[in-house]
Amino acid sequence: MRTLKSLIMPLLVLAAVIFGASTALSQGWDAGGSIGAEARIFSDDPAFAAQEDGVQTSIILEGDFRWRSADRRHQFVLVPWARIDAVDDARSHADLREGFYRFVGDELTVEAGLIKVFWGVTESRHLVDIINQTDGVEDSDGEDKLGQPAIRLTRQTGWGRLEAYLLPGFRERTFPGIEGRLRGPLIVDTDAPLYEHADEERHVDFAARWSHYLGDWDLGLAAFHGTSREPFFVPSTDGQSLRPVYTIISQLSADVQLTRGAWLWKGEAIVREGQGDTFAAFTGGLEYTFYGVTASGADLGLLVEYHSDGRDNDPSVAPPTAFDNDVFLGGRFAFNDMNDTSLLGGAIIDVENGSSAVLIEAERRLGTHIFVEIEGRFTANIDPADALAAVQDDNAVSLRITRHF
């Protein structure tokens, strides 16, 4: 049953989007947004008590408001977002995905507020992407992110782009609630997190990044020190839930992409300390595109990536991962038509035990303002000791229809 608390923030976002759109337009801002409906259909009975069976429906709201001064030096960006879920209270939530001021100087750009940053080049895992916290109730692919409080300084030089980050506030990861699917036998108690540092969520983190291109090469180097976005877990005192533990980590990372004709070679690597023994992890592979495989000009891309992760296997020391020794095989079909139709499919296969996570993503625009997406998440041949074992009964297909305005 829906609770009033779970609906307050999404409804406030809806009111802000509607009121803000009309007000902003009248004041000359660029304003837009979208409203979408989603049905997530589970094919198997739930594995744990209290989980919902069958279809999980929800509504997604997003606003997008932008203002820029006449000389283009001053900008404001505001992107409120919310989901109202019919089943899982924890999935009904709202966030300011972006909400920042930007000053563009002659040599330096300054941004302050809630920002969203993406680092990385690989397809099946975003290993070096660390600034924003994962919105874990949205999807199992980890690509949905919460807005991060930050001050970012950016300078473009002849030898690359330099970015410095001051991150004065930590966002805790979201997790499915008691009614939600795609979770383990114990829910994660997000009201009782544990922190290594006494400043807890007020700890100030730091990051820096250099990126540049040299001919066909795109390169990136980054450093981060602060509260890990990936928690590990310890049982609560009554044994009825898990408490997320956020430790202080230091991480160095590198990402590289080489473009040679139809070939894309990609790689990401990290070295991290602060969660058990210092460990390294790597994701890398290639993508080859066959152009014009149909009379209408569609392209077919084939992808192969390998994952290695040397973190401690003890979940009470380091966050669990499903990418310790895995291969991703996939394909991308771009129809290159007027409706922006595309299809991505593939599987991440554990090299040692054969456990597989299969994904399918298709999208197509209908007319000018309506977008349709279909996503499938499946598991196969799951080993009982694999990290995917807890969600092997949560195979699902999601249908999402979004109206942009």
Per-residue model confidence (pLDDT) at position 253: 98
Q: If you search the block for the tokens 């920042």, which residue do you land on? A: 100
Q: What is the mean pLDDT of residues 101-130?
A: 97
Task: Say yes or no to pLDDT of 285 above 70.
Answer: yes
Are 169 and 184 within 8 A, CB to CB?
no
Distance CA 218, CA 259 (A): 8
**With bands split at pLDDT 50, 70 and 90, how would you rate the model's confidence at 10?**
low
CA–CA separation, 169 and 180 (whole Å): 28
pLDDT digits (tens, 9 = 90+) for 89-98: 999 999 999 9
Go through the chain and tell me how many residues it has.
Answer: 405
- 177 in Cβ contact with 190 (< 8 Å): no
Reported pTM = 0.90
- pLDDT at site 61: 96
pLDDT digits (tens, 9 = 90+) for 225-284: 999 999 999 999 999 999 999 999 999 999 999 999 999 999 999 999 999 999 999 999
pLDDT score of 1 more than 50: no
Report how far Cα 284 is from the mean position of its chain's Cα atoms.
Answer: 19
Average of per-residue pLDDT across 366-377 = 95
Q: Are 74 and 110 in contact (CB under 8 A)?
A: no
Q: What does the pLDDT look like over 311-329, one tens digit per residue?
A: 998 888 899 898 999 999 9
pLDDT mean across residues, the chain: 93
Residue that is written with structure tokens 């203002």 in the block: 67
Beta bridge partners of 61: 35, 82
Q: How would you classify residue 72: left for phi > 0, otherwise alpha for psi between -120 and 50, otherwise beta?
A: left
Q: What is the C-alpha to C-alpha distance for residues 10 and 16, in angstroms, rounded to an integer? A: 10
Euclidean distance between CA atoms 78 and 395, whole angstroms? 35
23 has a pLDDT exceeding 60: no
**CA separation for the pair 391, 368 (Å, rounded):** 37
